[in-house]
Amino acid sequence: MITKQALGSTLFGMADILRDKVEDYKAYILSLLFFKRLSDNYEWETENEIKEFVKREGRQPTEAEKRIIVGKKHDFKIPAGCFWKDVRDASPDKKNEKLNKAVNEIADANIDRQGKAVLKGVINTVRWNEPAPDGSGSKKLSPQVLTSLVSYLDAVDLSNKNASVDVLGDAYEYLIKRFADENKGGTTAGQFYTPQEVVDVIVRYLKPQKNTTVYDPTCGSGGFLINAAKYCKTNYNNSKAIRLFGQEDVWNTWAIANINMILHGLDARIEKGDTILDPKFVEEDNELEIKQFDLAMANFPFSQENWTKTGKPKKDSKGKTKNKKDGSPQLEYPKDGFTDPYGRLVYGQPPYSNGDFAFLQHIVASI
């Protein structure tokens, strides 16, 4: 079995390949990791189930029986021609197109009972076949770099045979932390990663109990929710003893949170949207009533200006935008105030220039 450290080193080797080649290289690495995990585990589960069938029945399954085995055994569907080996074996000039087609077809193939595409925007968050912005006809991610990336990761078996959900999930979180460390001083670090010490203190203080619901209204990559599940595994030997709910507004971060939950094998639901303006967790019989949970924990965006999204740049007498000292535009807001249709602002309306009290009142309404 591969260790967290060994897998972490592999992932950072991929980062070295991508560094300075694309802007948000963490999304490329994590998306590719997820695709290979699904593919490797799918093939391993199929092989394992066929071995069990032979042991049980004393014969090889027929083609019809194989189809039944494949249909029942897997959590996620992978259409023919959309496996890791199909991408790996594609010629370099076709690799971008092949990978892009594979992840999009997987996203389309996985529909839950409510008709929701559960991997849409998750496994296919990266546009692997995107053309270069200079109009040259080349790819944004060159086929040579993608070929190196695929070859590098190909050596690692990411099925349950070699990589448990704990090791895979921990390596994944380690990678997220390393990305955040690289961005210290930038605006993305706090958005993407909450320091582990802060998460540990809050989870240990709340002490999640069996059969409770835990909610993070600004979940980022899912650190609070993951650690609540780990607390349950440590104390009750069951990481699924609680149900996890989160909302995140940034597309890539939302996708990463979903991948994080799947890689850890958790009972979780992560929704995409602005928590203040478009809360996704509402009561089924009343869409304007906030759904309530047993526990809530969050590292929301502190001191968020223009949290109502109603601010407009101020203009001087000549019609030019007035700027602050940092160069960002000064904003002016409607005089009639903000009305919350969900009735959360019962303790008063926060100033437009600072949304902390809006997030706090949303949390109060949610527990």
| pLDDT tens, the chain, 367 aa long | 898 888 888 988 998 999 888 887 888 988 999 999 999 999 998 998 899 889 999 999 999 988 888 777 788 999 999 999 999 999 999 999 999 999 999 999 999 888 888 999 999 999 999 999 988 989 999 999 999 999 999 999 999 899 888 788 777 777 777 777 776 554 444 455 678 889 999 999 999 999 999 999 999 889 899 999 999 999 999 999 999 999 999 888 898 889 889 888 898 999 999 999 999 999 999 999 999 999 999 999 999 999 999 999 999 888 889 998 888 899 999 888 889 999 999 999 999 999 999 999 999 999 9
Examine the fold and report which residue of 128, 147, 182 is the final residue of a domain before the chain moves on.
Answer: 182
How far is 68 from 244, CA to CA, in rounded Å?
32
- Dump strand ranges (E) for 185-311: 213-216, 243-248, 268-272, 282-283, 286-290, 295-296
Looking at 151, 182, 213, which one is the last position of a domain?
182
Please tell me whether residues 44 and 178 are part of one structural domain.
Answer: yes
Q: Are residues 307 and 321 in the same domain?
A: yes
Instruction: Tell me the whole-structure pTM to 2 decimals.
Output: 0.83
277 and 265 share one domain: yes
Residues 102 and 214: their CA atoms lie apart, in Å, by 34
**Residue 308, domain CATH:** 3.40.50.150
Residues in the chain, overall count:
367
CATH number at residue 118: 1.20.1260.30
Is residue 272 domain-shared with residue 174, that is, in the same domain? no
Q: Are residues 173 and 153 in the same domain?
A: yes
Token code pair at residue 276: 């203040």
- Domain final residue, candidates 182, 205, 232: 182
Q: Computed over its alpha carbons, how large is the radius of gyration of the chain?
A: 23
228 lies in the same domain as 178: no
Any idea which residue has 């005089």 for tokens? 335
Considering Cα of 222, then 227, then 228, then 232, what sign does the dihedral take? positive
| Dist CA 121 CA 280 (whole Å) | 17
DSSP single-letter state for residue 179: H
Q: Are residues 135 and 200 in the same domain?
A: no
Do 131 and 28 reside in the same domain of the chain?
Answer: yes
Match 């391993």 to its residue by tokens: 44
Count the domains in the chain.
Answer: 2
14 plus 96 within the same structural domain: yes
Domain that holds residue 114: 1-182
* Whether the Cβ atoms of residue 112 and residue 127 lie closer than 8 Å to each other: no
Domain match, 331 and 344 both: yes
Helix (H, G, I), strand (E, B) or coil at 233: helix
